[in-house]
Structure 1
Amino acid sequence: MPKPIAFITRPLPTAAVTAISKYATVRLRKTDSIIPRKDLLAGAKACDILIPILTDPIDEAVMAAAPRLKLIANYGAGYNNVDVAAATRRGIPVTNTPDVLTETTAELTVALMLAVSRRLVETDHIMRSKQYPGWGPLLYLGHGISGKTLGVIGMGRIGTRVAEIAHHGFGMRVLYYTKHKEREVELSLGAQKVSLSTLLKKSDVVTLHVPLVKDTRHLIGKKELQMMKSSAYLINTSRGPVVDEAALVQALRRQLIAGAGLDVYEHEPNMAPGLAKQWNAVLLPHIGSATIETRTAMAMVVAKNVQAFVHGRHLPNCINPPHVTAFS
């Protein structure tokens, strides 16, 4: 029986592509850029397995154009780029790559907390542009985070890891807002479950770790930003549309909050007008999982999902079970 055809929309680490090629005939788009819509439709049309990334909108139209499609193996922990409901209606399993990027994303979250609160990017620019006048008692003052209060919105794997680092590393008190009570986190970190409004009002740093679903779109908007302390910082390494970016620009401009650290954007790769001009924002190009180790591990998870599917085994990271059948 011939191997299924796997279409990969963008170059992945070589080790993973080699692993996938053991189980499927790989058609790899070699251009390292966001795939044009027409190329996505053309590639999907002739494949059995589609391996997209988070910038690829895999919607009803893509699936309709792909009569052979039997698996969508998304490269990423998030999967809001895939119309999972449409895939489920068609009996197409969708997989993702969770777990392996927890540490890396948590590290970057803490890095953003420190970078924005201590004005690292701003002052780096001052040095490089030769604007440093010499040391002074009142120059470039920021805020420390040790002993402060961290508010975690979404206490999943990444949110929990950030809370652990903040509590054990910086002695931060942890408040959290999520649907369910996390007893283990409360016992190990002394974390307290509170309402969203209480978290916003009491936290010195608010960090977002929720998936992008209907209820979390613009979870943080004008009203929520006005609840935050004027000395507080907002960190977002989850999904851009969780924050009303235009409202955030206004809050930063008016200094309603002290600053923001962002790795994701509402209309990525674009930013809201005026955001780039805000000195009190640290802006990163979605590098939460961008280490050699993590990006390779993510790709290897994709390979394992492909292997399991081709052999008719249980998919380790299936979002919409039980739509699993062996390739035939």
Structure 2
Amino acid sequence: MTRDAGSVQILLVEPFPPEVTAALSAKFNVTVLSDSAASIDEIEVVACSSLGTVDAALMDRLPRLKVVVNLGVGVDKIDIEHAQQCGIGVSNTPGVLDACVADTAVGLLIDTVREFSAADRYVRAGRWPDGPFPTTRNVSGMHIGIVGLGRIGRAIATRLSAFGCPITYHSRRPVPDVAYPYVGSLNELALRSDALIVAVSGGPENTGMIDREVLHALGANGYLINIARGRLVDEQALVELLRNGGLAGAGLDVYVDEPNVPEELRSLANTVLLPHLGSATKETRAAMADLFLDNLQKFVADGTLVTPVVAPRGGATMQPEPSLTDT
């Protein structure tokens, strides 16, 4: 199926990093969805990332669409079921960001528990002469519950095991060949944990899984760390418990309505809030861009994908394991 790349019509559903856009434009015929004058009848490829939505309505507007190529591991904003029904392939960029996101989770945990960001603000405000910053608690030895033991979850567990932290986890089913104890109930996992780290896929089936009951079980001395998707957590319940002492703290890289973070969260002193930068290092983003382009070039060459989530019609089999495991 080798073709002239310049003949392939690609639709960008959102702004991409300049270097990725330049690489695409150098080889392919690129159209931007926001361009009202753009013709989309010949589009064969949609390119997106975690910020862009590729729903059934958009797919149905593109009569020649064959594949959705995603710059990122999360595919929760792509209608996977509709893509399967229509024979439209979907790819993502698993594996290359696991270590970086796991580092972010551990960094968030340390910052949230030890309150380093708050201590930094304390010094900058000139308050140190008024007295020492309040003592916090150890991260080493904390009981850690991980929601979702996929590649990223396992990378987090490996790092925190080196801190002497007992690890337990919850997923839809026990993960083979791991030594960490499996807990079949989210509430039970929260009860056992000093900190709960959310590393599960962001599909609709998982929306709201970290609900008020789970947060209550985590308790007044517990910490929530979320590097997965904001919609997995009952954000209002989280705010209320953080405000009234029902939780000790939260470290968040993701939110329900990004980039709009509720003022209620921003005003709380016991939170550490990051702007969805779990994979935002130069090395990781370069590796993601390379795999993204490899998927696109593979599709142009032979109609298959390097890392398929959904195989194009007549292509390879479905990818067996997403990077953020389901629950």
Confirm or deny a common fold (TM above 0.5). yes
User: Does residue 145 of structure 2 align to residue 151 of structure 1?
Assistant: yes
- The answer on 1:117 being equivalent to 2:113 is yes
1:303 aligns with 2:297: no
Contact 1:202–1:229 (CA<8 Å) still a contact in 2?
A: no
2:30 is matched with which residue: 27, 31, 35?
A: 27
Identity in percent: 33
**Alignment deviations for residues 35-70 of structure 1 (CA, whole Å, 9 cap, x no partner):** xx7548947555221111211111122122222322
3-state DSSP class of the match of 1:323? Answer: coil
Say whether residues 1:252 and 2:252 are aligned partners.
no
Is structure 2 residue 259 aligned with structure 1 residue 269? yes
Give the SS at the match of 1:279.
coil
Q: Distance in 1 between matches of 2:39 and 2:134?
A: 52
Distance in 2 separating the partners of 1:263 and 1:203: 20
Q: State the distance in 2 between where 1:121 and 1:313 align.
A: 48
Counterpart for residue 219 of structure 1: 209
What's the CA shift for 1:20?
4.5
Query: What is the deviation of 1:178?
Result: 1.0
Q: 1:48, 1:69 within 8 Å by CA — same for their partners in 2?
A: yes
Amino acid aligned to 2:10: A
For 1:215 and 1:296, the matched residues in 2 are separated by 31
Counterparts of 2:150 and 2:63, CA distance in 1 = 36
Runs of 4+ more than 3 Å apart: 16-22, 37-46
Matched, 1:80 2:73: no
The letter for the 2-side match of 1:184 is: D
Gaps of 5+ in 2: 317-327
- Structure 1 residues 12 and 26, CA, compared in 2 at 3 Å: closer, same or farther? farther
The corresponding residue for 2:178 is 185
Give 1:212 shift.
1.5
Structure 1 CA distance, aligned partners of 2:313 and 2:55? 18
Pick closer, same or farther for the CA change 1:95–1:183 going to 2, 3 Å: closer
Counterpart position of 2:15: 10
- Whole-Å separation in 2 of the counterparts to 1:117 and 1:75: 32
Query: Which residue of 294, 302, 325 corresponds with 1:312?
Result: 302
Q: Distance in 2 between matches of 1:325 and 1:156?
A: 25
CA distance in 1, matches of 2:217, 2:273: 23
Query: Do the aligned partners of residues 185 and 293 (structure 1) sit closer, same or farther apart at CA in structure 2, a change above 3 Å counting?
Result: same
After superposition, where does 1:82-231 map in structure 2 within 5 Å? 82-136=78-132, 139-168=133-162, 170-186=163-179, 191-194=180-183, 195-231=185-221
TM-score, with length taken from structure 2:
0.88
Give 5+ residue unaligned stretches, structure 1.
30-36
Counterpart Cα distance in 2 of 1:303 and 1:205: 37
Amino acid at match of 2:108: L
Distance in 2 (alpha carbons) for counterparts of 1:288 and 1:209: 11
Quick one: distance in 2 between partners of 1:234 and 1:178? Answer: 17
Counterpart of 2:97 in structure 1: which amino acid? L
Counterparts of 2:315 and 2:221 in 1: how far apart (Å)?
A: 54
Residues 17 and 192 of structure 1, relative CA distance in 2, 3 Å threshold: same
2:62 corresponds to 1:62: no
1:127–1:17: structure 2 CA closer, same or farther, 3 Å change rule? same
- Report how far residue 211 of structure 1 moved: 0.7
Q: Which amino acid aligns with 1:150?
A: I
CA offsets, 1:124-143, max 9 Å, x none? 1122222223553xx32222
Q: Distance in 1 between matches of 2:285 and 2:177?
A: 29
Cα separation, 2, equivalents of 1:262 and 1:212: 15
Question: What is the identity, as a one-letter code, of the residue corresponding to 2:226?
Answer: N
Count of aligned positions: 310
Contact (CA 8 Å) 2:48, 2:69: kept in 1 or not? yes
Q: Aligned in 2, Cα 1:241/1:83: closer, same or farther, shift over 3 Å?
A: same
C-alpha distance in 2 between matches for 1:297 and 1:28: 24
Partner of 1:33: none
Which secondary structure does the structure 1 equivalent of 2:71 belong to?
A: coil
Inter-CA distance 17–277: structure 2 relative to 1 (3 Å threshold) = closer
- Quote the Cα distance in structure 2 between the aligned partners of 1:269 and 1:18: 25
Shift of 1:258: 0.6
Distance 1:308 1:115 in 2: 41
